Amino acid sequence: MQNKLWENPEERDTHGTAMLTWLVSAVSAPRCRFAEDHGFVKPNDARGLRLMAHCAAHVVTELDDLILAYGQSDEFSFVFHRKTNWFKRRASKFMTQVASLFSSAFVFYWDKFFAPERLLYPPAFDGRVVLYPTERHLRDYLSWRQADCHINNLYNTVFWALVQNGGLTTTQAQERLKLTVAADKNEILFSEFGINYNKEPLQFRKGTTIIWEKV
């Protein structure tokens, strides 16, 4: 039998005492209706992305041993130092502290990015803790999240261009994009809508990374 070191990301989820590994506490918004109810611009709402990044920076500065945060769309992942002993490495504490602090910051800073639009109801963010035994596994996780950002954003950019500017229904746009690869999507954007995807805002295409800077 081949000895694999936690090759399945889903098998790393834990709620007990975390082993001496890299610990990632991730938050995500489970309610898609929130964006619709608050009139978020599709495919990307710059206000929402800036608010998410601001909340993530708040979490990083408030919690001990956080060394990096990466986010895209409606999610953020927070990387704690491998040797952190925060809350005696109780995974549930990492999950609840990050999720609650992020959620409260989202409400607190809403007006800074969305005023005069009112927050209609409190948002809720899911939380989970994932363990990565080596730096390679941690790097692979972060690379996977950034690749996911690119794939999803490219699809969403061309999808909403077809709907908003191409006169297609959402069903027709889905059918048009079925079986297309990245090159096909780029060609549709450029030839039909004059959009050079590589010139889209970097935050849309690559996400947001927050790290400490020495001063």
pLDDT digits (tens, 9 = 90+) for 9-51: 544 545 566 777 899 999 999 767 999 999 999 999 999 999 9
Tokens linked to 172:
């027709």
Full set of structural domains in the chain with CATH: 9-209 (3.30.70.3000)
d(CA 112, CA 50): 10
Mean pLDDT of the chain: 92
Could you give the CA distance from residue 204 to residue 173 in angstroms, rounded to a whole number? 21
* 28 labelled binding-site residue: no
End-to-end Cα distance, the chain: 50
Ligand-binding site membership of 25 (annotated): no
- pLDDT higher than threshold 60 for residue 193: yes
Mean pLDDT for the stretch of residues 94-122? 96
Determine contact, residues 91/15, Cβ cutoff 8 Å: yes
185, 153 contact by CB (below 8 A): no
Helix then strand then coil, in percent of the chain rounded to 5, is 50, 15, 35
pLDDT, mean of residues 74-97: 92
Residue 214 has pLDDT above 90, yes or no: no
- Residue 1: pLDDT band by 50, 70, 90 thresholds? very low
The phi, psi pair for 130, rounded to 5°, reads: -130, 140
Mean pLDDT lowest for which of 30-34, 78-82, 91-95, 173-177?
A: 30-34
